[in-house]
Structure 1
Amino acid sequence: MPESYDAIVIGAGHNGLIAANYLARAGRRVLVLEARDVVGGACTTEQLIPGADWSSCAFIAGLLRPEIISDLELEKYGLEMYQTEAMEVVIFDDGSHMFMWKDIDRTLKELERFSKADAKAFLDFGLRIKRFAQIITPFLMRPPTSRSAVLRAFEEAGAEDLFDEFVLSSTKDLLDRYFESEHIKGLFTFFGMISVWGGPSTPGTGYVYGHHSVGEFQGHLGQWGLVKGGMGGITQAMTRAAEAHGATVRLRAPVEEVLVSGTRARGVRLASGEEILAPVVLSNADPARSMLQLLPKGTVKPDLEEAMRRYDNRGSMARIHLLIDELPQYIGFGPGQGPQHEAQQIMGASVENFERAWEAQRRGELPGEFVIEAMIQSTTDPGLAPAGKHTMTLGVQQLPFELAGTTWDEERERFADAVLENLFRYAPNLRDHILERVVITPLDLERDYGLTGGNIFHGAMFLEQLFGSRPAPELAGYRTPVRGYYLCGSGTHPGGGVMGANGHNAAKVVLDDLAGRTADAPPPVRRAARRGLPDLVMSSKAGRELGYRVARQPALRRVVKIFTRSGG
């Protein structure tokens, strides 16, 4: 007789594990089934090269909701996160560079080297982001409301312009409103180009920027950290937490089909033929895979099936993992290890390069000039690499999933060679110090990590696929037309990234349904927009000048940090 559980979760990515944790803590008997031999999905640590561990896909932690870290006691189960002093460094081909530091006074002085006006504008921009976050954050940890309800929240806060800037506008238009330096705009543009099918001028990319800007680290908005042992430290802690509360996690157990009887889910069948029963099944796969591949043919009505076939999964990226025996000696820097090796490194970041990358992406081609992001986590977490060696991860955004006239398998090595040639312009010494490399193409993201179209967000993050329309109006509340079958992955509200709200929200909906509480929750309570002291100070020209002078003072860092906390 088939084994049975109260709930089955398909996929041990972070959202699936979060859902499993909340269900297990509610006393449900939960089974998590993972096709691969490691937990985490795209939030994982893998030994891609013998002796070295890598965050193979996601490598920065800044979106994971603090409520989830607290609820699931992830630190108790081994999660260890930390920050570097330098957050980002952008390196330009003329040998100049610019740091974004954890401490705002250091960042302001860095920006001043390129534009004093932009350094002052940076404070105002930061307060705008903070206000955007205050309005949007209450919508994250709950089932989605309609897009009109979200807009109404901005209207009631007297902040329609924020909605226009951070939801509707392009990244280029957003940044042009605040900054003049092309160097500064080049750096910030990167955060609006993550896994998009578009360029800086594409309307809606402002939300991709805004989505990342609402992240926080230890209560500080817009900051991020690293995870000791790589990003798998997050999902390994989640796995231990789930197992401690009675959940079972099985690896190498790919699900072939969700079992459906009439209009109800009743379990799953594995690729091995084994059947496992449960009245509740949650899919952490992307919406297209969940609705078109995992359900028996004919289960989904034609209109919804067509909507899922039209669901926009465009916008991909690639990773190149390098094992090196010497740190990059970047142009414009002296010899030896420095903060440039501990920060997220970005090379070739210019608005024009991002626009040209979009033109190539649209044609199914590779650009001549790559914008490259890099992380060398082994400089701050030496256990990731053998002694005397380092793990260096490169990322390239704005890539087509389908290449004109060729395939990613055919172009894999030529693509990696071209990216490295770009890299050598910034770090010439690396030409002779790369020991091994592993390339993860957009096709690999679909084939090996289960990301349809190679989209790390499980679908485009434009307004037509957000809030009550993610992934489609009929599926926006995590429920599907098949009773007992739910979606919990990044293709649901509130979107992609290692945020975890999706898994949290889906689990709450399941528990409500099991308890007979099937009515959708009301929209979040919206209080009148509270203007804190920083907002009041910065509302006048004299106040902005005063705020700028205060923020530049290292002696006042503790005071400034109080005002930059996410809830302040």
Structure 2
Amino acid sequence: MSKHNDLDALIIGAGHNGLVCANYLARAGLKVLVLEARPIVGGACTSEELIPGAIFSSCSYIQMMFRQEVVDDLELKKYGLESVAPGLQEMALWDDGDRVMFWQEIDKTLRSIEEHNKADGANFMRFATRLKRFGELTHEIQLSDPPTQQRLKAIFDDAGESALYDAFMTASAEDLLKDYIESDRLRGFMMFMGLVSTWGSPTTPGTAYVYGYHALGEFEGQFGRYGLPKGGMGMISESLVSALQAFGGRVETSTTIQQVLIEEGKAVGVLLASGEQIRAPLVISGADPTRSLVGLLPDGALPEAAAADAKEIDQRGSMARIHLLVDALPDYVGFPGGKLGPQHQGLNILGPSPALYEMAWQAQQRGEFPDDMVVEALIPSVTHPGLVSQPGTHTLSLGVQQLPFDLAHGDWDTRKEEWADKVLEIYFRYAPNMRNHILARHVITPLDLHRDYHITRGNIFHQSMIGLDNLFDNRPIKAAAHYRTPVPGYYLCGSGSHPGGGVSGMPGHNAAQRILADLAGQTDTAAGRKVLKADNGLIGNLLKTDVGQRLGYQVARSRIFRSLTERLSK
């Protein structure tokens, strides 16, 4: 008997969303098989030995958006997920030694901000209360079928927050932040999250939502915090595989799918590149929507209008990584050299400013590399020494956003080393000693993301997240916005579906709820988990007022408050 007999569901791609979807379906009693083209699982949420003796998180490298509900539902800690939050979460550093440090402790963060700009401590707290309110209003709709734009607007209007809708849903990151933050540099630091895999600049309408979507991340229930998995981001995917196998699901790697099989207008399985057919009444794709709706479907499978929309999906905006094995820690400007310090723990954003992002945007449109770039830097081996086999070495990963996929001259294969050299020269301005301490490097370009990681045009979100035309019940296209496609039996569960990209597990969770609801005959009702709306209580309502925000700032800035909260957490 074939090992593929009697399947209930086939999932295309073992990216984290495909694995999340598979887990929920398997726990509901379905017999599930996940097929992955690459020899390893995880997609962009993966760990690889890119340099001998060193494990790197190839694409995504912090656990910030992965929803705690998914971690808890699927018991991922039981199945191997172990993550740690660095004490220093983020640091912005400029080449004159100026810096801002975001710590786990809010009072330390506020003091660092005020050392940079006295007024912005209170300003930051005022902004944080508005960001948190935005999160409260969007929390439930991220773990459910997407709302219509009319319903979305009504949620804010009914809460008396119409201005908040305009600020976060349609404005630019610059317009959003300039109303709160005085310092140009601090705004540049904060708006970085609005420019991840983005085709645009801080003044592009819609980047406020990209910022808000990221900034609402959490780790183990802690708002605005992230963690680093012990074995790199692939530990998330590996724990998902272990959990799936515990409930009877299977994963097969190095298995390339050529096409979704359609018979009598319905999806009935897949055709492999080997010529083998695997059949199942449900086929769910975790691939990006262009691959899912154009590349994997035979001509004529979609209605004409849907097929035309699928070919116009906006996948502009990419990023690239440089992974380094080094034999010293960076002596960052403004810090004492030769010592391990908090500056080596967290995510460093080097040189952030609105002007530099604008420069990158101009170069992006021309298909060129800008003269200067904002560079991200992370040293995961400081938190998890087991990532390297040789004592005294470290994994150092650099990243750059706002990159073009198509270059005006040459291509990424012929120019990747030139680009990497340019980025490293910028990095050496902040860490001059590292020029002589790089043992090896591995570069991942937008073309590599497209070709090797199967992410069309290198957009790690699978589709642009700028503008309401790319979000909610328009994502990825109107005809496939609720995870089911116009082809009966064929569903989508990847980052190109609501609510969007990042290692969140939300599209996979939502697709599974939609599929299970459809199987139960609940095709016309909203599918999703039941989330109780937060009761803000006296304190929550007080923080919505100017007086309450000022009081909240004074309390948060207090070391006594920190000591009390630390005791309560124990």
Report the TM range for the smaller structure's normalisation: over 0.9
Partners in 1 of 2:182 and 2:566 — Cα distance? 26
Aligned equivalents of 1:233 and 1:36: distance in 2? 17
Q: Which moved more, 1:550-559 or 1:125-134?
A: 550-559
Report the alpha carbon displacement of residue 215 of structure 1 after superposing the two structures with TM: 1.4
Measure the CA separation in 1 of the matches of 2:272 and 2:82: 34
8 Å contact from structure 2 (residues 144, 527) kept in 1: no
Q: Is the 8 A contact 2:290 2:313 kept in 1?
A: yes
Q: 1:177 to 1:268 in 2, by over 3 A?
A: same
1:9-30, CA deviations, whole angstroms, 9 ceiling, x for partnerless residues? 0000010001110111111111
Contact 1:139 1:524 in 2 (8 A): no
Aligned counterpart, 2:331: 329
Query: Match of 2:456?
Result: 452
Question: Which residue identity is paired with 2:383?
Answer: T
Q: Whole-Å Cα distance in 1 between the matches of residues 553 and 429 of structure 2? A: 36
Give the aligned residue type for 1:301: P
- Partners in 1 of 2:30 and 2:240 — Cα distance? 16
Map of 1:344-359 to 2, 5 A cutoff? 344-359=347-362
Offset at residue 362 of structure 1 (A):
1.0
Q: Figure out how many residues of one structure are paired with residues of the other and give that number.
A: 564
Question: Mean alpha-carbon deviation: is it higher for 550-559 or for 135-144?
Answer: 550-559
Return the alpha-carbon distance in structure 2 between the equivalents of residues 304 and 178 of structure 1: 42
- C-alpha displacement of 1:542: 4.3
Work out the CA distance in 2 between the residues paired with 1:522 and 1:512.
Answer: 6
Counterpart of 2:308 in structure 1: which amino acid?
Answer: E
| Structure 1 Cα separation of the partners of residues 489 and 303 of structure 2 | 17
For 1:124-523, list aligned pairs within 5 A. Answer: 124-335=126-337, 336-385=339-388, 386-462=390-466, 463-521=468-526
Q: Can you give the 5+ residue segments of structure 1 that lack an aligned partner in the other structure?
A: none
Cα separation, 1, equivalents of 2:126 and 2:296:
48
Contact 1:18 / 1:500 at 8 angstroms: preserved in 2? yes
CA deviation after TM superposition for structure 1 residue 45, in Å: 0.5
Deviation at 1:374, TM superposition (A): 0.7
Measure, in 2, the Cα distance between the counterparts of 1:465 and 1:15.
19
Distance 1:543 1:266, change over 3 A: closer
Structure 1 523/64 Cα, relative in aligned 2: closer, same or farther at 3 Å?
closer
Aligned AA (1:343)? G
Distance 2:559 2:469 in 1: 44
Q: Secondary structure at the match of 2:48?
A: strand
**2:513–2:527 Cα contact (<8 Å) kept:** no
CA contact (8 A) 1:154 1:160 kept: yes
Equivalent-residue separation in structure 2 for 1:340 and 1:153 (angstroms): 41
Shift of 1:538: 3.7
SS of the counterpart of 2:182? coil
| Cα distance in 2 for residues equivalent to 1:544 and 1:506 | 39
Residue 388 of structure 1, CA deviation:
1.2
Q: Distance in 2 between matches of 1:486 and 1:540?
A: 45
Distance 2:363 2:280 in 1: 47
Amino acid in the other structure paired with 2:47: T
Partners of 2:329 and 2:299 lie apart in 1 by 53
In terms of mean alpha carbon deviation, does 520-529 or 98-107 score higher? 520-529
CA contact (8 A) 1:492 1:502 kept: yes
Aligned 8 A contact 2:379 2:396 in 1: yes
What does the per-residue CA deviation read over 1:225-266, in whole Å, with 9 as the maximum and x for residues that have no partner? 111110011010000000010001001011111111021111
The structure-2 alpha-carbon separation of the partners of 1:8 and 1:419, relative to structure 1 and needing over 3 Å to count, comes to: same
Q: Equivalents in 2 of 1:446, 1:172: separation in Å?
A: 30
Q: RMSD in angstroms over aligned alpha carbons?
A: 1.9
TM-score, normalised relative to structure 1: 0.96
Write the distance in 1 (CA, Å) between the matches of 2:184 and 2:537: 32
Partner SS for 2:121: helix
CA distance in 1, matches of 2:245, 2:527: 33
Which amino acid counterpart does residue 425 of structure 2 have in structure 1? E
Which of 105, 123, 127 is matched with 1:121 structurally?
123
- How many Å separate the matches in 1 of 2:200 and 2:353? 15
Q: Secondary structure at the match of 2:522?
A: coil
Distance 1:425 1:283 in 2: 44
Shift of 1:61: 0.6
Q: Tell me how far apart the structure 2 counterparts of residues 18 and 428 of structure 1 sit (CA, whole Å).
A: 43
Q: Once the two structures are superposed, what CA deviation does each residue of 1:195-245 show, in whole Å capped at 9, x if it has no partner?
A: 110000000000000101221112121111111110011010000000010
User: Contact between 1:121 and 1:178, CA under 8 Å: does it hold in 2?
Assistant: yes
The 2-side partners of 1:258 and 1:388 are apart by: 49
Q: C-alpha displacement at 1:514, in angstroms?
A: 2.1
2-structure distance, mates of 1:96, 1:248: 51
Deviates more, 1:531-540 or 1:381-390: 531-540
CA positional deviation for 1:275: 1.0
CA contact (8 A) 2:322 2:399 kept: yes
**Displacement, 1:302?**
2.4
Q: Does 1:52 align with 2:54?
A: yes
1:327 to 1:130, Cα distance in 2 relative to 1, 3 A: same
- Cα-to-partner distance string for 1:369-419 (whole Å, 9 max, x where unaligned): 010001100011000012110000001000001011221111100000000
Query: 2:50 touches 2:56 (CA, 8 Å); kept in 1?
Result: yes
Instruction: Name the aligned partner's letter for residue 296 of structure 2.
Output: L
Contact 1:45 1:230 in 2 (8 A): yes
